[in-house]
């Protein structure tokens, strides 16, 4: 074990670290990416702090200090806010963690954008190609209005079908063969815990959008799921017997979500 001062940067031990870190790849995640290539990883534009920066900035800067190093930033193409589902690749944002001059490699569900050393126009085009297609045109229009992309530019048809559903459909046949497991490298979680966790994760995501959550609650009560196949999961959550309205609400919500993504195992 070593201090982050040794791991995250080159200072004080640069000669040996440069030898150790040949062809280094520093992989981090971020929340949002502006179309100019700056990353938002630790806070929001209202000054709300989501997490500490950690070693992300140091890793990115070190990648640029190494002639054969690269920084790789991963992010989901969309996020859920109070306004519903929105793009994680945005035109501009009032807070940033990694500045645009340190842009390098960016990865979403839809592909990889190599940004290092590219012009602003090329950077924006490459990021648009890994953006969810529902939000591409609005970003293109904004870029054109601000003179950052040529007026005759349009999204290549190859990147105009960037939708998570498209990826899921393509992967479905491989999942049936046992590939793309939830935990490909193994886990201490039981099948029961994975099944419950999946439903809880979906509900957590829906809770971020009040209208979506209200719609789900109405469906859970008006179109209640048969709870018999899911008794062991409800028992694990101590919801097999509901003694009050709150417990009854969670019981119906969980049973409804269980029924939506497959039969009990």
Concatenating the DSSP letter of every residue in 138-200 gives: HHHHHHHHTTSS-TT----GGGTT--HHHHHHHHHHHHTTT-S-SSTT--SS-HHHHHHHHHH
pLDDT at 35: 97
Crossing angle, helix 120-128 and helix 136-145, to 10 degrees? Answer: 160
pLDDT at 265: 39
Q: And the tokens for 105?
A: 């490699």
Name the CATH topology of 4-163. Glutaconate Coenzyme A-transferase (3.40.1080)
Q: Nearest Cα to 124, choosing from 36, 7, 22, 212?
A: 36
The pair phi, psi for residue 255, each rounded to 5°, is -60, -40
pLDDT at 181: 82
Tokens 């297609």 belong to which residue?
Answer: 133
* pLDDT, tens digit only, all 265 positions of the chain: 777 777 888 888 889 889 999 999 999 999 999 999 999 999 999 999 998 888 899 999 999 999 999 999 999 999 877 677 899 999 999 999 999 999 999 999 999 999 999 999 999 999 999 999 999 999 999 999 999 999 999 999 999 999 988 888 888 889 888 888 888 888 999 989 999 999 999 898 888 888 889 999 999 999 888 999 999 999 999 998 988 999 999 999 999 999 987 543 3
Does residue 40 contact residue 30 with C-beta atoms inside 8 Å?
A: yes
Provide the residue ranges of all domains of the chain, joining segments of one domain with +: 4-163, 178-260
What's the pTM?
0.80
pLDDT at 183: 85
| Cβ count near 258 (within 10 Å) | 22
pLDDT at 262: 55
């Amino acid at each position: 074990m070593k201090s982050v001062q040794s791991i995250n940067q080159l200072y004080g031990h640069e000669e040996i670290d440069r030898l150790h870190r040949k062809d280094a790849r520093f992989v981090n995640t971020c929340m949002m990416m502006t179309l100019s290539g700056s990353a938002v990883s630790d806070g929001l534009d209202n000054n709300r702090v989501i997490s500490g920066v950690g070693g992300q900035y140091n890793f990115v800067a070190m990648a640029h200090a190494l002639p054969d190093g690269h920084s790789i930033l991963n992010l989901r193409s969309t996020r859920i806010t109070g306004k519903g589902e929105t793009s994680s690749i945005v035109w501009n944002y009032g807070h940033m963690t990694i500045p645009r001059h340190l842009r390098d490699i960016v990865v979403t569900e839809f592909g990889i954008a190599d940004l290092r050393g590219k012009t602003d126009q090329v950077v924006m085009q490459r990021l648009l190609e890994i953006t969810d297609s529902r939000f591409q045109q609005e970003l293109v229009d904004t870029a054109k209005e601000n003179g950052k992309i040529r007026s005759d530019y349009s999204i290549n048809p190859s990147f105009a079908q960037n939708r998570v559903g498209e990826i899921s459909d393509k992967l479905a046949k491989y999942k049936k063969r046992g590939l793309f497991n939830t935990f490909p490298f193994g886990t201490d979680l039981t099948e029961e815990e994975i099944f419950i966790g999946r439903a809880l994760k979906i509900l957590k995501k829906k809770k971020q959008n009040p209208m979506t959550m209200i719609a789900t609650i109405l469906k859970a009560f008006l179109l209640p799921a048969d709870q018999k196949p899911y008794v062991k999961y409800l028992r694990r959550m101590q919801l097999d017997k509901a003694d009050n309205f709150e417990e009854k609400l969670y019981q119906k919500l969980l049973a409804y979500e269980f029924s939506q993504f497959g039969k009990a195992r």
